[in-house]
């Protein structure tokens, strides 16, 4: 089971990257009692049948690990959401992509801690692969909404690479400064 | 910290690049791979990456390449970290938390000594202290 909500989100983004997406859109909107996350990718997608099986913990496509019989990413998320009165919806079309909408209920006592959003954001940007990712993080409070956005290609352009500790450190500082500004 | 603009970030990057160019870093490149499958994430690999970055910044070695991989197939000892450092055989560490990650930076990457208790895939029996 994942310890934080950010861990669940990271797992889903990894799915999108492994599905060969060229662009992934991640939106995270937080209010006092909910965290709404949506993920849109243009990866390989799933047929209705595959989609049904993807939510079964005792199913995996067997591509990554030949002898393995479990796949836990989506089942972990579904468990977390159903335990805590949240909402979850997944739609997918073969060769088109996958869309996931989640509403974590922050008011439920059993909802795991949100986790560290900054580390989630910089880590989903620096997986290996040729994909673009746009993350929009927003916070609704006192009737207003504040937000910032990070784009992977833009960061690659500014930083040169997203692999060296120097670049990753700068990326983290950058996102941290956006997050601090949001929360202040 | 005030909100950083893309232009400020670009300038910082240039400064870092010049700093790195002044150091003699040839043949000293280290590659660190962190397992980030469902198993790794569940076991806390996100904190490990964070700690690695933080400690590398502290010791001033920022030429290290950090890659986030999928599952390494060693789910029972996640989080796992593989270190490929010149002069030392490639080593896979298991049960790595933030504290062990910091040790890997100071001991393995900087000093060139294995963090014995967490070596999962033994590079050679005779260089591990029991």
What ipTM was estimated for this complex?
0.81
Smallest CA-to-CA distance from A39 within A18, A12, A21 is with A12
Q: Which A residues, 111 through 130, put their C-beta within 8 Å of a C-beta on chain B? A: 115-116, 119-120, 123, 126-128
C-beta of residue B20 within 8 angstroms of C-beta of residue B63: yes
| Chain A residues whose beta carbon lies within 8 Å of the beta carbon of residue B66 | 126, 163-165, 168
Bridge partner list, A184 = none
% of chain A exceeding 70 in pLDDT: 92
> What does pTM read for this prediction?
0.87
Supply the pLDDT for residue B11: 93
Asked if pLDDT for residue A73 goes beyond 80, the answer is no
Q: Report pLDDT for B94.
A: 95
- Give me the pLDDT at residue A174, please: 96
Q: What is the CA radius of gyration of chain B?
A: 16
- In this predicted model, what pLDDT tens digit does every residue of B1-45 receive, in sequence order? 689 999 999 999 998 888 777 765 555 689 999 999 888 999 999
Interface residues of B toward A, Cβ cutoff 8 Å, are 1-4, 6, 9-10, 12-13, 16-17, 20, 36-39, 41-42, 44, 46-47, 49-50, 52-53, 56-57, 61-71, 73
C-alpha B50/C-alpha B7 separation (Å) is 25
Q: Which two tokens stand for residue A96?
A: 């088109």
State the distance between the two ends of chain B, measured CA to CA, in whole angstroms.
46
pLDDT score of A61 = 67
Q: Do residues A76 and B40 make contact, with C-beta atoms less than 8 angstroms apart? A: no
* Residue B116: how many other CB atoms lie within 10 Å: 12
| Percent of chain A topping pLDDT 90 | 74
Instruction: Give the closest residue to B46 by CA, choosing from B1, B11, B86, B78.
Output: B78
Domains recognised in chain B with CATH numbers: 27-124 (3.40.30.10)
**A67: pLDDT confidence band, cut at 50, 70 and 90?**
low
Q: What is the mean pLDDT of residues B119-130?
A: 68
Question: Which residues are bridge partners to A138 per DSSP?
Answer: A29, A147
Which of B57, B65, B73 is closest, CB to CB, to A169? B57
DSSP single-letter state for residue B105: I
Is B53 in contact with A7 (Cβ distance < 8 A)?
no
Q: Name the token pair of B68.
A: 């986030």
Q: Is residue B124 very low, low, confident or very high in pLDDT (cuts 50, 70, 90)?
A: low
- Residue A57: pLDDT band (50, 70, 90) is confident
């Amino acid at each position: 089971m994942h310890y934080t909500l950010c861990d669940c989100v990271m797992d889903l983004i990894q799915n999108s990257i492994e599905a060969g997406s060229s662009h992934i859109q991640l939106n995270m909107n937080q209010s006092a009692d909910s965290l709404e996350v949506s993920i849109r990718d243009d990866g390989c997608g799933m047929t209705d049948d595959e989609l049904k099986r993807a939510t079964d913990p005792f199913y995996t496509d067997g591509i990554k690990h030949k002898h393995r019989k479990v796949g836990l990413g989506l089942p972990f998320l579904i468990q977390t959401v159903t335990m805590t009165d949240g909402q979850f919806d997944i739609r997918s079309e073969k060769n088109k992509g996958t869309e996931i909408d989640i509403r974590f209920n922050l008011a439920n006592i059993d909802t795991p801690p949100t986790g560290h959003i900054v580390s989630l954001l910089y880590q989903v940007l620096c997986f290996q692969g040729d994909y673009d990712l746009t993350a929009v993080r927003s916070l609704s409070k006192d009737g207003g909404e504040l937000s910032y956005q990070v784009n992977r290609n833009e960061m690659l352009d500014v930083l040169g690479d997203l692999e060296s500790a120097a670049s990753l450190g700068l990326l983290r500082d950058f996102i941290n400064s956006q997050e601090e500004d949001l929360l202040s | 910290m005030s909100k950083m603009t893309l232009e400020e970030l670009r300038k910082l990057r240039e400064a870092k690049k010049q700093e790195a160019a002044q150091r003699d870093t040839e043949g000293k490149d280290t590659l660190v791979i962190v397992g980030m499958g469902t198993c790794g994430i569940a076991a806390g690999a996100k904190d490990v990456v964070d700690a690695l970055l933080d400690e590398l910044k502290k010791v001033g070695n920022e030429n290290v390449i950090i890659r986030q991989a999928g599952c390494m197939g060693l789910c029972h000892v996640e989080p796992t970290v593989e270190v490929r450092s010149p002069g030392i055989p490639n080593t896979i560490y298991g049960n790595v938390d933030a504290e062990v990650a910091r040790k890997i930076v100071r001991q393995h990457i900087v000093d060139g000594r294995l963090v014995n208790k967490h070596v999962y895939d033994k590079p050679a029996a005779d260089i591990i202290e029991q």
